Structure 1
């Protein structure tokens, strides 16, 4: 998916920057969640011009940029944000909000490369440490996937899913989610879960949101859903993403999962809750499915996919 035509916006945006010869040369592949135009200047320097479609609230985007710049200042590899002539990080064209980043060279994750897995784990651990003193208040809404929400708003979110998907042939999936949430909150009451170490959570730390040159991480991207939560959210989700057989598989390779997790000094409680959190990071509320519908996906099909993954991770499916 390449997204809508950008020809009306890009010439206007180019004028906002003191970059001689800046022009668009293509689009990066996208799922429709955001648009990323590949730009080049007169000297051949590359940039990425991002249009924010998923998070359109300006205060949320500013928060994400502040978080990214904080990490960059702490030595975490991510993209420089390029200011406009007026010193602004955001450009709003009326209907769209754009930010220009310096391009970071690299390729996506190679599932056959255990050294890349190790360095991805080290990068995530460093990210958590670097973010510890990020002092800004979070700017969140109900589309930000905080796992704690399943304890505080789980019944409400499930009721909304039942309403949203009534007559959509997903009764079995909704019944699974009902039973899953009852089991999760019974086995790990909120009083226990709140003893887990807190952290700023990237929440989308996977192989296509990182860039590698050889085995080294050269960039961490996509802070759309960063939030304050439990460190285990990131560890559980990233273990699933990096220790799978490949990008299409739900089978986690135990030896690679152990290799990834050894860089986090997990507490006993984190180790006990890790399997449950690995499943829980795949659950979505109605607000997230409405976003997918807005992006052109069939939300019922997306829900079936999420529940199938959850069932596999629970050992209930092949």
Structure 2
């Protein structure tokens, strides 16, 4: 057992009084958060200990835990939060960093996406979007706002440049895509169908078992945003050819749009259809808060800047195909 796992097990046992015996790190280098799946004496994964590092404001943590509970009571397959032995929503380690404990959800990450699972995943996204606006919670974050690249492009660019950490050539490659996005900025800014959006809806944040979606995880990005921005990101990530290969598979894109439309409160409007491709581009632009958190955690920013660039290049090459597929799928 590594020192990091051992410390997580000890903290969970002491603060949350659970019989944790071991664990495994989750998330890899793609996130600044620290996440440990804790196991019991039989080696079964039963809990997830999360150390939020991107946004550790107490008010944000309270909102996220409240959202977990509110979503669960309305039938969403999200993890139940656990309280500490003294009734607190989270605990702090010796370095003053917060840790949350959630129940472990069954299922495997959706690494290989089939049309059937893509449709079911999109239906779950629609379920999330149908949650009532008022959940009895004080909404906090996330930061920056979903439309920062549309309303404050130069300020957002400078914020990214300030933390680019020797990767300015990679960052500069985004300029052409940002310029193209702003051809569609007015219509995207007018998107007003605000919902509870996941913010990071992709296969590794979905669990499945026996042909069903059994879990929606990693709700760190939850917030109020236009549904088309959430759907655009989900469609890109679920319909791509594979990790690092963002060529869209037509049958998977059709499945995502079909599953969403069949369960959404209302069909996509013509304006939303037109902004689906630009919203995909928007979803791949750098997030200065994410870059800052990665840098603070000691991660190299190169992969975090290079992966979205690959997506943007593939999107640009498929523009005509995507427009035709979206028109065809939403006309059904």
Q: CA 1:112/1:102 → structure 2, altered by over 3 Å: closer, same or farther?
A: closer
What CA distance in whole angstroms lies between the structure 2 residues aligned with 1:141 and 1:123?
21
1:70, 1:131 within 8 Å by CA — same for their partners in 2? Answer: no
Say what the alpha-carbon RMSD is for the aligned residues: 2.8
Query: How many residues are matched?
Result: 309
Deviations 1:16-55 (A, max 9, x none): 3354xx0232213322532214132689782222222333
Of the three residues 178, 200, 203, the one matched with 1:181 is: 178
Larger helix proportion of the pair: 2
SS of residue matched to 1:36: strand
Q: CA 1:184/1:57 → structure 2, altered by over 3 Å: closer, same or farther?
A: same
Q: CA 1:154/1:291 → structure 2, altered by over 3 Å: closer, same or farther?
A: same
- Say if 2:126 is the partner of 1:125: yes
Deviations 1:123-181 (A, max 9, x none): 11001112533243332254x4x43111222111113334544864507x51x433433
What CA distance in whole angstroms lies between the structure 1 residues aligned with 2:41 and 2:100?
16
Of the three residues 278, 292, 295, the one matched with 2:294 is: 292
2:246, 2:310 within 8 Å by CA — same for their partners in 1? Answer: no
- The runs of 5 or more residues in structure 1 that have no matched partner are none
2:177, 2:312 within 8 Å by CA — same for their partners in 1? Answer: no
Summarize the alignment of residues 236-247 of structure 1 with structure 2, pairs less than 5 Å apart. Answer: 236-247=232-243
Q: CA 1:85/1:41 → structure 2, altered by over 3 Å: closer, same or farther?
A: farther
Give the corresponding residue for 1:147: 146
Summarize the alignment of residues 7-18 of structure 1 with structure 2, pairs less than 5 Å apart. Answer: 7-8=6-7, 10-18=9-17
TM-score, structure 1 as length reference: 0.86
SS of residue matched to 1:245: strand
What CA distance in whole angstroms lies between the structure 1 residues aligned with 2:178 and 2:113?
34
Which sits farther off after the overlay, 260-269 or 86-95? 86-95
Which sits farther off after the overlay, 75-84 or 39-48? 39-48
Deviations 1:198-251 (A, max 9, x none): 111111111111111111111111111112111111100000111112233211
- The runs of 5 or more residues in structure 2 that have no matched partner are 262-266, 320-332
Q: CA 1:166/1:225 → structure 2, altered by over 3 Å: closer, same or farther?
A: closer
TM-score, structure 2 as length reference: 0.83
